[in-house]
Amino acid sequence: MATIVTDCGNSPQLAKRLARKLRAKYSPLTISSFPDGDIYLKFNTNLKNKKLVIVQSFQPHSDMSLFDVIWAAETAKDLGAKKVTLVAPYLSYMRQDKRFNPGEAISSHIMAKLLNNSIDKIITIDPHLHRIPKLSKIFTIQNQALTANLVIADYIQHHFKNAVIIGPDWESYQWAERIANKIKVLSSVFRKTRHSSRKVTSKMIKPLEIKNKNVIIVDDIISTGHTIIEAAKKAKQHKAKSITAICVHGLFVENALKKIQRSGVKQVLCTNTIQKPQSKIDITDLIVKELKR
């Protein structure tokens, strides 16, 4: 069955690279809106009996990103596509995975429910699995969570000497500890208290010799940057030689990069799950391998 690769506007570079590596046709969609704001979407290739791969990271605009995918998948099925796979390198809504306060929406469940209805398979990278231990708890369709740990570990090994790794909060052990173990350097995972979406404090629980070391703070997501900033402050107090922040998904909202740099972080890097100038770590081959399975 021939494969067509498309994107919904957020991930054209990655979609083109994937198509090239899969030797599949890349066919961009036409997406615009009518004067009243209604979505207009059009496929520009024949989808009958084809496998369709939609590449869409859910940033910027998580809500429209999700909506566009549903529109595209439903249209593809209507046009005769046999299988619709969504490659969402960054999958949003995963952090609101419980009702923290009475009356709140559990967004991860709603997002998954909507996608379960429209697509056949989802592939994502390092989704924020915390209280939900695996994707199959919310997805009834085929699902695959890949991790960028090995490519990040490889990058650190080739670019840093005398490094120690810090995970800025308990959940980040999945990246910080595992990457540190892989490249055989020491690590410590901090305890973070989140007071609001823009205020966090952190504490070093497991002591780690930081003085004169190149400290690398590793996390899955950098959004407003406050988590990294708090960890960087601690690293500075302990006289780190340099501080670098590396994440899988670089959202960098509300001027995060400037604020992080002001806190003493020398360099901020991320993968290309969301394409940014800081995307020095490439995850294309991870996805190609999974799509070829």
By annotation, the residues acting in catalysis are 192
Q: How far apart are CA 97 and CA 159, in angstroms?
A: 35
- Binding to ligand R5P by residue 225, rule CB under 6 A? yes
By CB under 6 A, how many residues form the interface with ligand R5P?
A: 13
Q: How far apart are CA 285 and CA 55, in angstroms?
A: 14
Pick the closer one to ligand R5P by CB: 139 or 225: 225
Least Cβ distance, residue 225 to ligand R5P (angstroms): 5
- Binding to ligand R5P by residue 221, rule CB under 6 A? yes
Least Cβ distance, residue 197 to ligand R5P (angstroms): 7
Q: Which of residues 21-50 bind ligand R5P (CB under 6 A)?
A: none
What is the distance, to the nearest Å, from the Cα of residue 23 to the centroid of all Cα atoms in its chain?
Answer: 25
Task: Please name which of 248, 21, 256, 6 lies closest in space to residue 150, comparing C-alpha atoms.
Answer: 248
C-alpha R_g of the chain: 20
Side-chain half-sphere of 70: how many Cα atoms within 13 Å? 14
Q: Checking DSSP bridges between strand 199-203 and strand 191-196, what pairing results, if any?
A: antiparallel
Contact 225, 188 (CB under 8 A): no
The letter for the amino acid at 102 is: P
Least Cβ distance, residue 43 to ligand R5P (angstroms): 34
Pick the closer one to ligand R5P by CB: 115 or 200: 200
Residue 63 host element (H or E) = helix 62-78
Least Cβ distance, residue 213 to ligand R5P (angstroms): 22
- Binding to ligand R5P by residue 219, rule CB under 6 A? yes
Pick the closer one to ligand R5P by CB: 7 or 219: 219
Q: How far apart are CA 235 and CA 202, in angstroms?
A: 11
Least Cβ distance, residue 184 to ligand R5P (angstroms): 24
Pick the closer one to ligand R5P by CB: 172 or 263: 172
Task: Select the span of 63-71, 105-113, 159-167, 220-228 touching ligand R5P (CB under 6 A).
Answer: 220-228
- Binding to ligand R5P by residue 92, rule CB under 6 A? no
Q: Which of residues 159-188 bind ligand R5P (CB under 6 A)?
A: 169, 171-172
- Binding to ligand R5P by residue 7, rule CB under 6 A? no
- Binding to ligand R5P by residue 227, rule CB under 6 A? yes
Site string for ligand R5P, 197-216 (x = CB under 6 A): ---x----------------
Contact 47, 81 (CB under 8 A): yes
Tokens for 19?
């198509």
Q: Which of 224, 271, 273, 278 binds ligand R5P (CB under 6 A)?
A: 224
Contacts (Cβ under 8 Å, ≥6 apart) of 88? 56, 57, 58, 69, 122, 123, 124
Pick the closer one to ligand R5P by CB: 182 or 194: 194
DSSP codes of every residue in 9-21: SS-HHHHHHHHHH
- Binding to ligand R5P by residue 126, rule CB under 6 A? no
Contact 167, 180 (CB under 8 A): no
By three-state DSSP, how is residue 232 classified? Answer: helix
Least Cβ distance, residue 239 to ligand R5P (angstroms): 24
- Binding to ligand R5P by residue 226, rule CB under 6 A? yes
Footprint of ligand R5P (CB under 6 A): 169, 171-172, 200, 219-227
